[in-house]
Structure 1
Amino acid sequence: MLPRSKPPGPGAAPRATRRRTSGVVAVLAGVAATVATLAPPALAAPPDGATPARGGTVPATAVDWHPCPGENDAQCGTLSVPVDWDHPGGPTFELALARTVATDPAARVGTLFFGPGGPGDSGVERIVDGIGRFGPELRERFDIVSFDPRGVGRSSPVRCSAELLARRPAPVLTSQADFDATVAYNRQLRADCRVRTGPVFDHADTSSMARDVDAVRAALGEPKLTYHGSSYGTLLGQRYAELFPHRVRAMVLESVMDHSLGTRDFLNTSTAAAQDSFDAFVDWCDRTESCALHGRDVRATWAELLARAGRGEVPDPKNPAATLTPYALSGFLAPRALYDPDYADLAQTIAALSAPTSGPASTAPTGDRTRAEQPTRVNPLAIACRDWHLPIRDYREYAAQVREMARIGTDLPYPQALAVVESCLGSPPVEHPQHRLRVDTDRPLLLLNSVHDPATGHDWATGVARQLGRHGVLLTYEGAGHGVYSATACTRSTVDRYLVDLVVPARGASCPAAAEPGV
């Protein structure tokens, strides 16, 4: 994962308040956390005559808010929720929460719940350190609440042996033996993580998280949910809308996941989205004199860089003892730079990495995760394997899929989604696999997506909009980036009007791109 800049304060301009949100597998860094103690809570009937999910009962206890550590105005708290919502009287764990209160109490609308991305992003950190993501009006009119989803951060995180994680097989499989070794490794890792994590491991899925969100809604006394989910958080929003359609007041899905795709479509559309964003970067560089690669053949320069990476000749700027692989370059480095998007920085990075070296920098590829001082590490990818059924039968099918992706992603042949598929090879069946959405909310959900999104392509958003029918409206940002609520005054004001005043934009609505993209 590339480093994230700390968001500026509330007074910053709209574009300055943008912060990269995670895509499907932007989960290579974890949050230090403590595992909660499991103890049965006092339970009561749901408030306001609500119908409990799947026979479960919402915990009656309210959240005990207290100041969060550090220099901020946030409040932190926890809520006890069942490990298994099918057995609400069984063991519980503590769900970590954070909030800021509305700065204009007289104009307060209610509570806005934010669903973080990832999987693996911390909603608590978003509130504590990244509240500038939300516009001034939202901060005035809403208490803004988020959480560390189960299996993440401070909410009983999925923990695994650091030594075992460091032995993850090579990301690009080249034989049936590699394929079999990866399946065996995944099986071993799942067993290790299950032991180290405890009972939450088998219930760290988005359907359970949706029921957690409803428990928080009830504990806060909100009759209906006002929700804004970004990236992987859109999957959480979709699932909540399926389970509790008439408890949705308003729901924004920003940078939209499509949970109806099988393995082939999941990988191919992910590849196409990253390639499309790279194409937009190349076009910008060709027409922008300030681009560090202006006047050069950008694609040829990039192709040579990938070739040198394949020979072990590209040092990792963050770890001089290691090298960058083609997989790391095309699967993570370039796509992550396209999230903001920071075209100028990507061009400078490519130019610097393209400088000739005296020879192979190291025999150790980048991504060596050995941390001898830490016996365990977090592993949020395990959550994706609870949500997605992405089978590949054998190496022959895998190789054919990789060749197909290479034809689609001529510059970026390894999408981030490939890491999910490989990490889930051999996983047991999931309880709620991909399917077409079945949503019947009282108000249409508002979808927001850029035309050039490297992680959740615009076609995912249009696909979800088609599945929602009259229960969804897509707002298209005609520019680039992943997570574009703050991209322009148009995107921000349209979302704010929807969340505050329940004004649904017209079908086919769009916002023009920023005047100077990528700088």
Structure 2
Amino acid sequence: MRCATAVLTLVAGLCTAGSATAESGADLARFYGQQVDWHQCADAGLVKEGAQCAEVTVPLDYGRLTGPTMKIAVSRIEAKDKDNRQGVLLSNPGGPASSGLDAFDLIGDVIEPEVLNRYDVIGFDPRGVARSGAPKPCGWPVSNPIRSAGVDLAGFVAETLLQAQMAGSCLTWDATTPRYLTTRNTARDMDVIRGVLGAPRISYFGLSYGTYLGAVYTQMFPGRTDRMVYDSVVDPGRYWLGMQQDWGAADEAGLDDWAAWTAEHDDTYHLGATAPEVRAGVEGLIQHAARTPIPVAGFGVDEHLLPNILWTMLRDARLNDTLARTIRTLVDLADGRSPEINKELLQQVDSARTDEYSVMAMIWCGDAPMPADPAWYWRAIEAARPTQPVFAALANNIQPCAFWPAPLEPPTVVDNAAPALILQATGDNRTPYVEAVGLHQKLSASRLVTLQDVRIHMVLRPGLSSCVLDTANAYFRDGTLPEEDRTCYANPTPAEPHPA
């Protein structure tokens, strides 16, 4: 325990470190007016798309403009329809900490060519991500801070020590830079990009966390936005802790939905003939993993990782078969059998073994404060368990932010009339529907397009809903929002061909 105590003491000391003060009257002109060198991109996919790339210089700390700077990687595909050019269209694919340099890869198959050709399509890696100054790995013993606290107090104590260790490993090598990898600073970077491009306003497509970034931008830079589309939405008033807690009920509903589907296919998966039987089997599997981690390719899937696998695969009802095969495999392995391990489970295990999502946590922790008392999280977990037996311990688990220095700025309060189109599925488990309702209320001029009775994260997809696609494309084309909120449905599933 002495090692764990040392970690907690070290992190506590770092959390009391002071922050830089703003430079009064500092001039941003040298950043907004910089000349950048547009050159051939290093990525073959961007070259094929006809993109050019550049690096835009921004201050690390916007309160200290003469201090250190960093480079933001930007891509540009110039508008092909010069006569009807609408302006610039930026995007963010979510995460946080997902690379957004290839914007065409995100939106090229959902925005009609006739519409997209009117925009300069601008991609960028947010600060701290990929080619925009990604910090070195912290050396985490696990890949992802989104984990379950487990089934009992002993599991929660182990998670608390682990999450403290994760925070400390990031802050001991550099206690300063990670604190500036925030959404507010990324929004400022976006506005520098806008200035460098010579655009009076930006249009924008944000997915998941990217909706929060877009909403923050509208609040920080009023009058500088044009056509803003938000897909699978974060409520700024719930970010980050509240949104995480909102996962619990949404994930339990998603698990019930999947369990019902799986029970209908019991002849294939043999996981239970009724939804309650399937659910009971999953809960029992988690209890087994708590006692004895399930060996998968030399890696132990335990009570902390298994709920994350469920959370990941419940994001899309089209993954029902994948999740059923994954649970079937885990049940067989837990029972001592040697089944063929499906590739999706191997991918989950490989990610848990090799990836590190520390930059994602740096952004969360720098954006909004989270409770520092571990007992707060344990009480929240126990209060939610009766109605969330599988996901209470994931949605309320402690994370590195509990051991992080206080944010340098308060969270952005979003409350404005910037026009926006909000797209949201009712069954989304990553950004639950209540989040979209919250943002809709905070953006008084927005319209909410609901994809009804669909469990999916990211609704602007080819072939999913013509209603959603048509509405988004009309807005990007004409700049006219629907007169009122709209309910859309998924396209009918094509009927099986009738045998001749």
* TM-score in terms of structure 1 length: 0.76
* Deviation digits for residues 18-59 of structure 1 (CA, Å, limit 9, x no counterpart): xxxxxxxxxxxxxxxxxxxxxxxxxxxxxxxxxx99864443
Map of 1:471 onto structure 2 = 445
Deviates more, 1:450-459 or 1:158-167: 158-167
Distance 1:117 1:169 in 2: 16
Deviation at 1:311, TM superposition (A): 2.8
Report the CA distance shift for 1:104/1:61 in structure 2 as closer, same or farther (over 3 A). same
2:291 to 292, 311, 314: 311
* Deviation digits for residues 119-157 of structure 1 (CA, Å, limit 9, x no counterpart): 110001454687435443443332221211111111111
The number of aligned residues is: 448
Map of 1:255 onto structure 2 = 232
Gaps of 5+ in 2: 1-23, 339-347
Mapped contact 2:97–2:360 kept (Cα < 8 A): yes
Matches within 5 A, 1:8-407: 56-57=28-29, 58-68=31-41, 69-71=43-45, 72-73=48-49, 74-127=51-104, 131-132=108-109, 134-162=111-139, 172=149, 174=153, 178=158, 181-182=161-162, 184-186=164-166, 188-194=168-174, 200-261=177-238, 265-286=242-263, 292=269, 295-296=273-274, 297-316=277-296, 320-330=297-307, 332-341=308-317, 342-355=319-332, 357=334, 359=336, 379-395=359-375, 397-407=376-386
Deviation at 1:323, TM superposition (A): 1.9
Mapped contact 1:277–1:338 kept (Cα < 8 A): yes
Mapped contact 1:76–1:98 kept (Cα < 8 A): yes
Secondary structure of residue in 2 paired with 1:88: coil
Secondary structure of residue in 1 paired with 2:58: strand
AA in 1 matched with 2:37: D
Report the CA distance shift for 1:163/1:427 in structure 2 as closer, same or farther (over 3 A). closer
Report the CA distance shift for 1:178/1:315 in structure 2 as closer, same or farther (over 3 A). closer
Mapped contact 2:147–2:304 kept (Cα < 8 A): no
Mapped contact 2:145–2:399 kept (Cα < 8 A): no
Secondary structure of residue in 2 paired with 1:305: helix
Secondary structure of residue in 1 paired with 2:56: strand
* Deviation digits for residues 439-468 of structure 1 (CA, Å, limit 9, x no counterpart): 243xx2111111000110000111121222
* Deviation digits for residues 273-323 of structure 1 (CA, Å, limit 9, x no counterpart): 22222233234344568974573532123223222322335333xxx1112
Mapped contact 1:186–1:425 kept (Cα < 8 A): no
Map of 2:423 onto structure 1 = 448
AA in 2 matched with 1:336: T
Mapped contact 2:179–2:407 kept (Cα < 8 A): no
How high is the sequence identity, in percent, across the aligned residues?
26
Secondary structure of residue in 1 paired with 2:123: strand
2:455 to 464, 469, 480: 480
Report the CA distance shift for 1:99/1:169 in structure 2 as closer, same or farther (over 3 A). closer
Gaps of 5+ in 1: 1-51
Deviation at 1:407, TM superposition (A): 2.6
AA in 1 matched with 2:273: G
* TM-score in terms of structure 2 length: 0.79
Distance 2:146 2:125 in 1: 29
Report the CA distance shift for 1:424/1:133 in structure 2 as closer, same or farther (over 3 A). farther
Report the CA distance shift for 1:202/1:313 in structure 2 as closer, same or farther (over 3 A). closer
Distance 1:333 1:213 in 2: 34
Mapped contact 1:227–1:237 kept (Cα < 8 A): yes
Secondary structure of residue in 2 paired with 1:259: coil
* Deviation digits for residues 230-260 of structure 1 (CA, Å, limit 9, x no counterpart): 1111111111010112111111111111221
Whether 1:506 and 2:486 are equivalent positions in the alignment is no
Report the CA distance shift for 1:193/1:116 in structure 2 as closer, same or farther (over 3 A). farther
AA in 2 matched with 1:59: Y
Distance 1:295 1:461 in 2: 35
